[in-house]
Amino acid sequence: MKLAVASKTDVGKKRKHNEDALLVKTELGLFGVADGMGGHAAGEVASNEALQALYDTILANQKTLDQFVGDASVEQADEVRRMLEFSVRNATYQVFGLSEVDPDRRGMGTTLTLLLLRPGVAFIAHVGDSRLYVLRQGVVKVATTDHTFVNALVQQGRLTPEQAANSKFSNVLLRAVGSKDYVEVETRMVRHQPGDVFVLCTDGLHGYLKKGELASLVEPADLEGSAQRLIDLANGRGGKDNITAVLVRVDE
C-alpha cells in the first residue's frame, strides 16, 4: 500500500491561537485532526494531548493491526474497530484528567476524527464535528456524522439542513473528547481503492464549503496545492476559526 499525503493548518483570521491539531503517521497509515475548545489555550492542550494519547495507545496495540494484515476477517476487523474505540476513550480519559487537576483547563475538550488505512480497508473513529470526506472519481461522500445539537434536530426532521447551517446553536457539540471522562465513539470501516482521496478537516474549513464544492477544489494529482487551496478558501470567506486539512491519496 502506497500513500501520498499533504497536510496544512492555519490560525485563520479571527483567532489568536491555533487550537487545532493534526496527526500524520504515514508509515502506520494513521491520520487525524482535532479541534480543541476551552479558555486559556486549553483547547490547544486538549487537541494535542488527545492525538498524542491516541497515537501512543495504537502503538501499544500494534499487534492487533499486524494480525488484521495476516487475517482480514470480519472478526479481526471488529478487533481493530474495538481497539480504535478503546484508544479514543483512553484519550478522553487523559484529557479529562488534565482538566480536573488544572482549574484553568476545566471543561476543555476536543473533536477527534481518525483515519487508519490498511490494504483495501479504511477504519474510521470519530467524535464531534470535524469531518472525513472520501473523494472517488470526482464524487465526494461524507464518511462521518456531525455530533452536534442542530444535526440531531435535522435527523429528527425538526430542522432543515439550511436552518441548521444558520442556527446560532450550530457549534453546540453533543460529543467531545475530554469534556467528560467517557464518550461514545463512532467507528466504521469502508473499502478503498487506488485513486481514492481522503480529506480530514475541522469545521473551520468545512463550515465554508458549499454543497458539492469539495470535488472541484481537490486535485488528486496535486495534494499540496489542493490543501493550500482549501486553506485559502476558508480564509477568503472569513477565516473565523482555525483551519486544518489532511489529504491522503491511496496510490496502490
Question: For residue 213, what is the domain's CATH number?
Answer: 3.60.40.10
pLDDT of amino acid 168? 77
pLDDT of amino acid 154? 83
Q: Which residue has the higher pLDDT, 213 or 38?
A: 213
State the Cα–Cα distance between residues 28 and 174, nearest whole angstrom: 30
Could you say which DSSP state residue 210 is in?
P
State the Cα–Cα distance between residues 109 and 209, nearest whole angstrom: 25
pLDDT of amino acid 167? 81
Band the pLDDT of 14: cuts 50, 70, 90.
very high
**Number of neighbouring beta carbons within 10 Å of residue 191:** 8
Q: Which amino acid is at 200?
A: L
The arithmetic mean of pLDDT across residues 217-233, rounded, is 98
Nearest Cα neighbor of 231 from 2, 22, 29 is: 22
pLDDT of amino acid 38? 85
CB 159 within 8 A of CB 165: no
CB 249 within 8 A of CB 220: yes
Residue 9 forms beta bridges with which residues?
A: 244
C-alpha cell at 236: 477568503
State the Cα–Cα distance between residues 31 and 232, nearest whole angstrom: 22
pLDDT of amino acid 163? 80
Per-residue pLDDT tens over the stretch 153-204: 888 888 888 787 778 787 889 999 999 999 999 999 999 999 999 999 999 9
Residue 93 has pLDDT above 70, yes or no: yes
Compute the mean pLDDT over every residue in the chain, rounded to the nearest whole number. 94
Q: In this prediction, what percent of the chain has a pLDDT beyond 90?
A: 81
State the Cα–Cα distance between residues 252 and 250, nearest whole angstrom: 6
Band the pLDDT of 252: cuts 50, 70, 90.
confident
**Number of neighbouring beta carbons within 10 Å of residue 89:** 20
pLDDT of amino acid 211? 87
pLDDT of amino acid 40? 67
pLDDT of amino acid 71? 80
CB 92 within 8 A of CB 183: yes
**Number of neighbouring beta carbons within 10 Å of residue 136:** 16
The arithmetic mean of pLDDT across residues 128-134, rounded, is 98
Residue 84 has pLDDT above 80, yes or no: yes
C-alpha cell at 83: 481497539
Report the SS3 class of residue 199: strand
Domain span at residue 123? 3-250
Treating both helix axes as pointing N-terminal to C-terminal, what angle do 42-60 and 74-101 enclose, rounded to 10 degrees? Answer: 140
State the Cα–Cα distance between residues 245 and 132, nearest whole angstrom: 10
Query: What H or E segment, with its residue span, contains residue 52?
Result: helix 42-60
**Number of neighbouring beta carbons within 10 Å of residue 232:** 15
C-alpha cell at 148: 452536534
The arithmetic mean of pLDDT across residues 66-87, rounded, is 91
Map grid coordinates 485532526 to a residue.
33
State the Cα–Cα distance between residues 84 and 57, nearest whole angstrom: 9
Domain tally for the chain?
1
